[in-house]
Structure 1
Amino acid sequence: MATIEDAPLGSLRSQMRLTLHTLHAIRLWNGRLPSADAPRIRGLNDFVTLVNRVYRDAARDDPYADALLLRFEAKLDSTRTALLNLHAQLNAAMAQAPAAFSLGDNLNVEPVQLPVTFNAPLGFLALYLLADYDELARRALLAQHTALIDPPTLEYWLDEGAHCLRSLFSLIQTYRTSGACRDDFAANNAKAQRAREQFGELPQNILDGSLRARHAPALRQSEPAALNSAGPTSNNTHGLPEDS
């Protein structure tokens, strides 16, 4: 008799959406196309495509992709701290309202709902920061409307928060795949030498894989290694979905 473990299973899926209430946050999602007068500004939607590529390369044991994921995590932490500081200033301003006055939530009557299809966990961490900024924007707009802050303060907070996120998105905008993996560096072959010439040297703890990002992907096993460890009929690899 077949057991329940023998039953075929499909892939797990979840329908995820991001709800945005302010134009300020929507602009950060969309970015800006280049024009004759202004350069391109990457938005979160465009940025995640690059994050997925870096994540996929890191799964293929590319040490340069791993190095970039470490930098990205550090940038995420500093961006989160900057937004928390802005929220703290806003909270202090809104606390000046008298106790008898209830502000309530400042929500859009027709918010924008965006489908979310990310492959890399780090993309979700950036998404959470955009949601934090959207909350900051709608609450700051309410604070200015109710005279708890003045227009220059509102503009400063909105611009400062947006700048932090754009700086995060720009971190990987020039990313290129090195085409080399750690086995290439161990062999010091032509791929490794070419990667060093193009992208520079890496610290030893990144090169040997002892230091990786907190949310770095599991490494894909090469086909020969998988065959040797699992037997000739096994096709067990740690796969990742391709970019959506």
Structure 2
Amino acid sequence: MPKASTELPNENTASPGSSGRLASSLSIALHSHYAIRLWEGRPQTSRQGTSQVKMKASIMSMPQAIRLAGNIFQASSADNPYADDVMCRLEEAIDTATGKVNEAVHWVDQQIAALPASVSLSEVKAESPLNIGVFSRSPLGYKCVWLLVGYDQLAMKAFQAWHYGLISRQRRDELLNHGGHLIRKIYGILRLWRPLSVTRADIENHTPAGVTAVERLGQPDPDIMSGKRRSSFSPLIQKRSR
């Protein structure tokens, strides 16, 4: 799959003799079935049992997560405090999950490093990895992708360590299940996003849009409303004139 190309943010508009806008392209390679399944997600499915139909809940895909992160980013730039709140919670959850996945990768690396000095292992990888072009309208969308890539590394190393008898099957499965749960928690935050065209001014001035938003989503946190608490990746607020 070709790399996804995007223009990078640039405050300077192109003019004769200038270099024009910055551009970049990005692709990732996923090697483990565990990471690939989390990238692809799962639609809601039904399974006919002996006496009843059992439903399996859907799992969001990473492309859906990236799209929602972009929508939330755009809403945040339009002075939507609910979008700012989701961005804060999303960043915190991604950073926490990334730290835990990195700790797990480090732990598996230590088990592999305990091999005798005369033993050498090649880097583990799939014969035919899934190559994907990635584009996100939000930095947090890309951070979701980096988390998944880290989980992919964990899955490969965990299977390698188990294959060579360095960790048990139970420990391998614990690592993989916990890492997958962390990513699905990120999906859960994004799934709860409810788009509403509302601004801080709407809420402060009790406009119809503001009243409806508070009735549906509750009163925003005061620190969110004041702008004291924002994601480090929040865009500059483009306040609307009313």
What is the TM-score normalised by the length of structure 2? 0.85
Q: Does 1:130 align with 2:148?
A: yes
Q: Does 1:18 align with 2:28?
A: yes
Q: Does 1:104 align with 2:104?
A: no
Cα deviation, residue 218, structure 1: 1.6
How many residues are treated as equivalent by the alignment?
A: 221
Q: Distance in 1 between matches of 2:176 and 2:229?
A: 36
Contact 1:43 1:166 in 2 (8 A): no
1:94 counterpart residue number:
112
What is the TM-score normalised by the length of structure 1? 0.85
Q: Does 1:190 align with 2:200?
A: no
Q: Which amino acid aligns with 1:24?
A: Y
Unaligned runs of 5+ in 1: 226-244
Cα deviation, residue 166, structure 1: 1.0
Cα deviation, residue 56, structure 1: 0.7
Deviation by residue 1:36-66 (Cα, 9 ceiling, x = unmatched) = 2201101212111111111110011000000
Cα deviation, residue 97, structure 1: 1.1
Q: Distance in 2 between matches of 1:9 and 1:198?
A: 47
Q: When you count strand as a share of all residues, which structure comes out higher?
A: 2
* Overall identity of the aligned pairs, in %: 26
1:148 counterpart residue number:
166
Pick one of 87, 95, 100 that aligns with 1:69.
87
Mean Cα displacement is larger for which, 122-131 or 10-19? 10-19
Q: Distance in 2 between matches of 1:140 and 1:129?
A: 16
Deviation by residue 1:85-142 (Cα, 9 ceiling, x = unmatched) = 3123212321221111001200112211101011100011111111111111111111
Cα root mean square deviation, aligned: 1.9
Q: Distance in 1 between matches of 2:213 and 2:27?
A: 38
Q: Secondary structure at the match of 2:24?
A: coil
Q: Distance in 2 between matches of 1:174 and 1:67?
A: 12
Mean Cα displacement is larger for which, 148-157 or 81-90? 81-90
Q: Distance in 2 between matches of 1:21 and 1:181?
A: 43
Cα deviation, residue 219, structure 1: 1.8
Structure 1 pair 10/199, CA: closer, same or farther in 2 (3 Å)?
A: same
